[in-house]
Amino acid sequence: MRSQQHTGNASFGKVALDDKQALVDEVFDRVARRYDLMNDLMSAGLHRIWKDVLVTAVNPPRGDRPFTLLDVAGGTGDVALQVVAAGGAGVHATVVDINGEMLGIGRHRAAERALDDVVAFIEANAEALPLPAHAFDATTIAFGIRNVPRIEAALAEAYRVLKPGGHFLCLEFSSVDVPGLDALYDLYSFNIIPQLGRIVAGDPEPYRYLVESIRRFPKPARFADMLRTAGFCRVSWQVMSGGIVALHSGWRL
CATH of 4-252, one of 3.60.20.10, 3.40.50.150, 3.30.1600.10, 3.40.640.10: 3.40.50.150
- 4-24 burial, b at 16+ Cβ within 10 Å, e below that, comes to eebeeebebeebeeebbbebb
Q: Residues with Cβ < 8 Å from 39, sequence gap 6 or more?
A: 47
One digit per residue, the tens of pLDDT, for the chain of length 253 reads 223 233 334 444 444 555 555 655 665 666 666 667 767 777 778 999 999 999 999 999 999 999 999 999 998 999 999 999 999 999 999 999 998 988 999 999 999 999 999 999 999 999 999 999 999 999 999 999 998 989 999 999 999 999 999 999 999 999 887 888 888 888 888 888 788 778 776 777 777 777 888 888 999 999 999 999 999 999 999 999 999 999 999 999 9
Using DSSP bridges, classify how beta strands 245-252 and 162-173 pair: parallel, antiparallel or unpaired.
antiparallel
| Gap between the Cα atoms of 116 and 112, Å rounded | 8
| Gap between the Cα atoms of 36 and 18, Å rounded | 28
| Gap between the Cα atoms of 83 and 69, Å rounded | 8
What per-residue confidence (pLDDT) applies to 147?
Answer: 86
| pTM for the full predicted model | 0.84
- Please list the residues that pair with 103 across neighbouring strands: none
- Please list the residues that pair with 94 across neighbouring strands: 70, 120
**Helix 35-43 vs helix 46-58: angle between axes, to the nearest 10 degrees?**
100
Reported as type and span, the H/E element at residue 198 is helix 193-200
| Gap between the Cα atoms of 236 and 94, Å rounded | 25
Q: Residues with Cβ < 8 Å from 89, sequence gap 6 or more?
A: 63, 64
| Gap between the Cα atoms of 208 and 27, Å rounded | 10
Using DSSP bridges, classify how beta strands 136-142 and 245-252 pair: parallel, antiparallel or unpaired.
unpaired
Domain ranges of the chain: 4-252
| Gap between the Cα atoms of 83 and 140, Å rounded | 10
- 122-139 burial, b at 16+ Cβ within 10 Å, e below that, comes to eeebbbebeeeeebbbbb
Reported as type and span, the H/E element at residue 246 is strand 245-252
What per-residue confidence (pLDDT) applies to 16?
Answer: 52
What per-residue confidence (pLDDT) applies to 35?
Answer: 67
Taken in order 172, 30, 201, 34, the sign of the CA dihedral is positive
What per-residue confidence (pLDDT) applies to 24?
Answer: 56
Are 200 and 41 in contact by the 8 Å Cβ rule? The answer is: yes
Q: Alpha carbon of 103 to those of 106, 121, 123, 139: distances in Å?
A: 5, 7, 7, 18
